[in-house]
Structure 1
Amino acid sequence: MGNADLRDLASIRDVTFEEIAGSVVAVDAHNWLYRYLTTTVKWTSGEKYTTADGVEVANLIGVVQGLPKFFEHDLVPVMVFDGDVTDLKADEVADRRQKREGAEERRSAAVERGDAIEAARLDARTQRLTDTIQETTRELLRLLDVPIVEAPAEGEAQCAHMAATGSVDHVGSEDYDALLFGAPTTLRQLTSKGNPELMDLAATLDELGLDRQGLVDVAMLCGTDFNEGVHGVGPKTAVTAVKEHGDLWGVLDARGAEIPNAAEIRELFMHPPATDVDVDTEMNPDVGAARAYVVDEWGVAADEVERGFERIRESQVQTGLDRWS
């Protein structure tokens, strides 16, 4: 579902870090990592994160720059990684690949004509989570003793399941689909400047006068990662239509419209593949080993990560948390 669509409907409020201190947060790792990966590539010289044999590990800079804010505010990040891509999302993945390839062609053309600014801008759009990025990210997180969960399918669905079953306190994601997967509360902008936002499922449903299945039906009418929306139906129109006609099928019949695989998509949101997990929230980051891994083993410029590691060290001393063993 388009971010703007769901934001128009969701109950969202700003919260202070004091309000959420002590929380355990299931973070949509791919969402979070990709954000820091692309930001690093956009604003950092490639030589800072490229090995002698040409392997790019900008992700290591991104992780070290992004993690400290969790620690500084007494938050435990549980990084949840995507599992298998569902068949329903295959078209979306293919579309993203096509857009990335198009950006790569435009980037190459910009390099050829000497437009360094345009090339740098497009370089961020060509990034993908390579096997090396996946492996090195996990290893760095392990050295920093950050809990990792491998989802059976959609990472965001696993996050939502963990929050709904009480394994964690909140989901952490910049996307809005956590609502559709049933996350009671989702924290956005956790590692951005300023305070985070809290998206509340119960308050959203109460304000809209819908149950979660009704919200999923609204989302499908507008369009999700798994389906195109119905032409001419925006979020407010969708809410009114679902209330008037009872559910997704009633709306589709009334409009003479069709959503391919609608039953499967609806079921995926309502009962996504997810597993029960126990999370160990006691952390003992080995900052020295993590720094050696990033700087010595992978050749990342020390000045790009030194402050991040120092902030993690300072957090261990200043917060005095029981979980810092």
Structure 2
Amino acid sequence: MGNADIRQLAVIEPKPFEELAGSVVAIDAHNWLYRYLTTTVKFTRSEMYTTEAGEEVANLIGVVQGLPKFFEHEITPVFIFDGGVTELKAEEVEERREQREAYQAELEEARESEAEAAEIATLESRTQRLTDTIQETTRDLLELLDVPYIEAPAEGEAQAAHMTRYGDVDYVGSEDYDTLLLGAPRTLRQLTSKGDPECMYFERTLEKHDLTWEELVDVAILMGTDFNDGISGIGPKTAVKLIHEHGDLWGVLDARDEAIPHADRIRAMFLDPDITDDYEYDTDIDPDLDAAKAYVTDEWEIPAEEVERGFERIEESVVQTGLDRWT
């Protein structure tokens, strides 16, 4: 997720949905899916998304509930799925796993003590992870709905930022502030929230603080990222001031007699990430709603009433706007 303190530096403004009609947005799939997954689990009884075999597919409810927001505003999503986990991020992934295990222990204790349903639901949402089944069924459902997706070689947000920088899509869609460090010109945030989203601007952020891209990344490293702990006592304003005074990350570290392990590799993770230009997708969407409904309700045993309204909204969008005219 990156360091949320980056928000204090970023130029972010409201972006009404009516200004986004006709746009193509590269969605950080894991980021988007995890938010809908945890929300679904928190507000839906577990038996609604658990098959007789015991497999949990709350993602299918979340996808059906989340996609209409794009369709209704004539936005074409292109979902970008993560590839392999980078070595430097492995520690963060392990920390998240340990945190989930701690929540799982709390959940089991809450169930044994017959705690309030709201407390149990909250703990269930915190133990969620993107299992192989969730990932596979999400891709299958997107294919049936004719929604394009791409497999990134590594970080999905880096691939999405790259595609936006080269004009293949109009925006990145993510809640992660790291898209700014990855050079995404425009990032739409709060696409999973009520109301209009907001847009985070890369070039305007650089201009506001008189920074280059490299210097912005150095500022973030001093503050702390997914790949490193920051230097104690350095927040956004101090980091910018220090970079202006000393030129770059190494100048600051030398002046303060500090060290950040793997600093050069962390810098490269943002400035030269593992991405690909070998991708293609079709933005003319023609969903097979009958097949998608059957997949969700028959094959994966989701009660029809849990996804009925979501499919209705998708169908209404097809009839009212005609998905192929968006592009």
Compute the TM-score of the two structures, normalised by the length of structure 2: 0.97
Structure 2: distance between partners of 1:61 and 1:217: 40
Residues 324 and 236 (structure 1), Cα distance of their counterparts in 2 relative to 1, 3 Å cut: closer
Question: Is the CA contact (8 Å cut-off) linking 2:285 and 2:324 kept in structure 1?
Answer: no
* Letter in structure 2 aligned against 1:228: D
Q: How does 1:106-125 map to 2 (within 5 A)?
A: 106-115=106-115, 116-125=117-126
Runs of 4+ residues over 4 Å off in structure 1: none
Q: Which amino acid in structure 2 is aligned with residue 61 of structure 1?
A: I
User: Which runs of no fewer than 5 residues in structure 1 stay unpaired?
Assistant: none
Name the aligned partner's letter for residue 162 of structure 1.
Answer: M
* Residue matched to 2:207: 206
Matched, 1:311 2:305: no
Q: CA deviation at 1:279?
A: 2.8
Taking structure 1 as reference, are residues 321 and 127 closer, same or farther at Cα in structure 2, changes over 3 Å only? closer
Matched, 1:90 2:90: yes
Report percent identity of matched pairs: 66
Q: Deviations over 1:126-179 (max 9, x none)?
A: 110111001000000000011010000001000000101111110000111001
Aligned to 1:144: 145
Segment drifting more, 271-280 vs 45-54: 271-280
Counterpart in the other structure of 2:16: 16
1:70–1:191 CA contact under 8 A, matched in 2: no
- 8 Å CA contact 2:3–2:224 kept in 1: the answer is no
Write the mapping of 1:1-325 to structure 2, written as runs, cut at 5 A: 2-115=2-115, 116-276=117-277, 277-323=279-325
Residue 79 of structure 1 aligns to a residue in which SS?
A: strand
Counterpart Cα distance in 2 of 1:91 and 1:185: 29
Deviation at 1:72, TM superposition (A): 0.5
Does the aligned pair in 2 maintain the 1:83–1:150 contact within 8 Å?
yes
Deviation at 1:319, TM superposition (A): 1.1
Tell me the amino acid that sits aligned with residue 183 of structure 1: A
**Is the Cα–Cα contact under 8 Å of residues 167 and 279 in structure 1 kept in the other structure?**
no
Shift of 1:4: 3.1
User: Contact between 2:70 and 2:77, CA under 8 Å: does it hold in 1?
Assistant: yes
Whole-angstrom distance in 1 between the partners of 2:253 and 2:187: 30
Q: Does the 8 Å CA contact 1:82/1:150 hold for their aligned counterparts?
A: yes
Normalising to structure 1: TM-score of the pair? 0.98
SS at match of 2:285: coil
Q: Is the 8 Å Cα contact of residues 218 and 242 (structure 1) preserved in structure 2?
A: yes
The answer to whether the Cα contact below 8 Å between 1:245 and 1:251 also exists between their aligned partners in 2 is yes
Deviations 1:91-140 (A, max 9, x none): 10010001000000111111111103322211111110111001000000
Does 274-283 or 254-263 show the bigger shift?
Answer: 274-283
Amino acid aligned to 2:193:
S
Q: Separation in 2 of the partners of 1:185 and 1:141?
A: 24
CA distance in 1, matches of 2:290, 2:323: 20
Q: Contact conserved, 2:17 with 2:197, CA < 8 A, in 1?
A: yes
Instruction: String of CA shifts for 1:236-280, please: whole Å, max 9, x gaps.
Output: 100000011000001111111111000001011101011113331
Mapped contact 1:51–1:299 kept (Cα < 8 A): yes
For residue 178 of structure 1, give the secondary structure of its aligned residue in structure 2.
Answer: helix
Aligned equivalents of 1:173, 1:67: Cα separation in 2: 15
| Cα distance in structure 2, aligned partners of 1:2 and 1:268 | 13
Asked whether the equivalents of residues 107 and 123 of structure 1 are also in contact (C-alpha less than 8 Å), the reply is yes
Which string of whole-angstrom CA distances, capped at 9 and with x for unpartnered residues, describes residues 171-198 of structure 1? 0001110011110000011232111101
TM-fit CA distance, 1:321: 4.1
1:209 and 1:289 mapped to 2: Cα distance?
Answer: 53
SS of 2:181's partner is coil
Larger deviation, residues 288-297 vs 115-124: 115-124
Cα offsets for 1:205-242 (capped at 9, x unmatched) = 00010011110000000000011101110011000000
Q: Is the 8 A contact 1:28 1:159 kept in 2?
A: yes
Contact 1:281–1:323 (CA under 8 A) maintained in structure 2: no
**1:90 aligned counterpart, secondary structure:** helix
Describe the SS at the equivalent of 1:70: helix
| Unpaired segments ≥5 residues, structure 2 | none
1:324 Cα deviation from its structure 2 partner: 7.5
Residue 86 of structure 1 aligns with an amino acid whose one-letter code is T
Q: Distance in 2 between matches of 1:236 and 1:37?
A: 35
The verdict on how the C-alpha distance between 1:272 and 1:210 changes in structure 2, with shifts beyond 3 A counting, is same
